[in-house]
Structure formats: C-alpha cells, structure tokens
Copies of this chain bind each other. A is one copy, B any other.
C-alpha cells in the first residue's frame, strides 16, 4: 500500500535554516513562573534550590549537546550558545530550539525531587518556551551575554531591596514599589545598608552575577592570543582531519562542565578561556 496520495502535504514544510557563520543563541524562559514559584513556595527574592535546579538542567543539556559552547542563566531563563561554525541539525531553527527546550525540561522535571525533596511536582507541570537568534560577530555575541548579565544585576538589586522592604521593613508590595520608584543603584545600596544593615556586595555571587556554564580547561594568560579577530575572520565551517576531529571530541568529553558565577562582561573572562570563542578544546586540567 503506497502512501503517495497524501504525501504531497510534506511540501508545505518551510525551511528555517539559520544563516551560516553566525553565532546561534537559544534562549529559553519559564512559562508562567510567577504562578509556578508561588505554588511551590519559592523563597524571595531568590530561591537557591530553584536556581540550582536550573543550573543542573543546563549542565545536563550541555552534556547531551556538545555543540553548545557556553550557557548563561538567570532567574527562570537560560541562554545556550552554539559556535558560529556549528552545523548541528543543518542549523534548522525549530530543531535546535525544540531539542534544547525538551532536554532542559526533561532534566528540570527529573531532577526536581533532588532539589525539592519535600514538594513533589503536580500538574500543571513546569514548562519552558524558546527562540533562536543569530549574531554575526563576537562583539554581538558578547554584547548579548552582557545584556543578560546587566539585566541580572539590575533585577537582583531591585528585588533584593524590594523584598527587604517587605520582609524586614514591614512594607506591603505597593509601598515597597513606591519607595523604589525613580531610585538609582546607589540609592538601593544605601537603603539596604542603612535600613537593614545589608551589604549588597555580600550577597551570593549566583544571585548577583547569574550562572555561566562551560567546559573547563586550563586558563591561559591574557594577551597571548587574539581569538576575537581570528574567529571573526572565519568564513566557513572549519575543515578538520578525522584525527583532529576525534581528538577534539575526546578532549571535550574529558573536560568537566562547570557552573560558575563570574563577570562575563569584562574581557578577562573571555581572554583566559579562548576555547569559548575558538571552539578548539583547551588543555584538560590535571585532577587535583
């Protein structure tokens, strides 16, 4: 029995290949997480368990998809970066987005009991949506990452002060909002310190900087290379010998995937980790 009569419907699929030689960022966001976090009693302004669950899921996504070179997470969102030479799934947008969203969700649900042992999940379950965006140059990519980290900082300082006003200062949400309206960063730091004795600098790095996930190799001395120029110059998918390709794969598999809370806006982070932009695995550090 042939299926030919109906097969014409396949022609309606439209291609969604992303432009070659550009960085692909897939950002996912929790759907309805205000309600979700209320349901499970997430602590305010930050719930350590919830953030660590996000990080664990992101780590698992990177382990399953070695084409991802770096990821950055804050609150209920995570951005995953594919190197500009990446040809996974022929760079089809819906394949890339759906695979990341699905894998992330699977681990989020699967690992939930480890991070929330006392509050089992019940429907409606947590879910995430996602989208892919292309960035042509290293500068564009770094500006994207900086944008997210600046956002993290702005929101966290605001939320920390907002919830201090409520939890420690006895204000209600409307009063707290009013108090903060029009204030600058310095004002918020001042409120925290003078009213509540809180030094914002002492807050957890994970809250202030978000989480960056990447494969860990030996750091290099900054100034010994110029990866940005080299990488921007790249014009087409790098042709590697099979041996080289196998070697890279092995080194990547050996590398630990780490979650850290670092400044990714300044050059230093990128200068010391050239593999993030070059996509060439570094030296695997010796076991301590």
Query: Which chain B residues lie closer than 8 Å to A229 at the CB level?
Result: 229, 232-233
Query: Which chain B residues lie closer than 8 Å to A144 at the CB level?
Result: 6, 9, 12
| Chain B nearest CB, measured from A62 CB (Å) | 12
Q: In the bound complex, do residue A137 and residue B232 qualify as a contact, i.e. CB atoms below 8 Å apart?
A: yes
Max count, chain B CB within 10 A of own CB: residue among A101, A123, A143: A101
Q: Which stretch from A20-28, A254-262, A274-282 is at the chain B interface? A: A20-28
Q: What 1/0 flags go to A7-49 for Cβ under 8 Å of B?
A: 1111111111101111000001001000000000000000000
Query: Which chain B residues lie closer than 8 Å to A151 at the CB level?
Result: 3
Distance between Cα atoms of A166 and B92 in the complex (Å): 38
Q: In the bound complex, do residue A20 and residue B11 qualify as a contact, i.e. CB atoms below 8 Å apart?
A: yes
A114 at the B interface (CB under 8 A) = no
Interface range, A side: 35 or more
| Chain B nearest CB, measured from A127 CB (Å) | 4
| Chain B nearest CB, measured from A278 CB (Å) | 15
Q: Which stretch from A70-78, A104-112, A199-207, A240-248 is at the chain B interface? A: A104-112
Nearest 5 A/B pairs, CB to CB: A6-B147, A139-B235, A136-B136, A232-B232, A106-B125
A-B contact pairs, 19 of them (CB 8 A): A3-B147, A7-B147, A9-B143, A11-B20, A19-B19, A20-B136, A28-B98, A60-B123, A94-B94, A94-B97, A98-B131, A99-B129, A101-B101, A101-B102, A102-B105, A106-B125, A110-B125, A137-B234, A139-B235
Residues of A within 8 A of B (CB): 1, 3, 5-17, 19-22, 28, 31, 60, 63-64, 84, 92-95, 97-99, 101-110, 121, 123-137, 139-140, 143-144, 146-147, 150-151, 153-154, 184-185, 228-229, 232-236
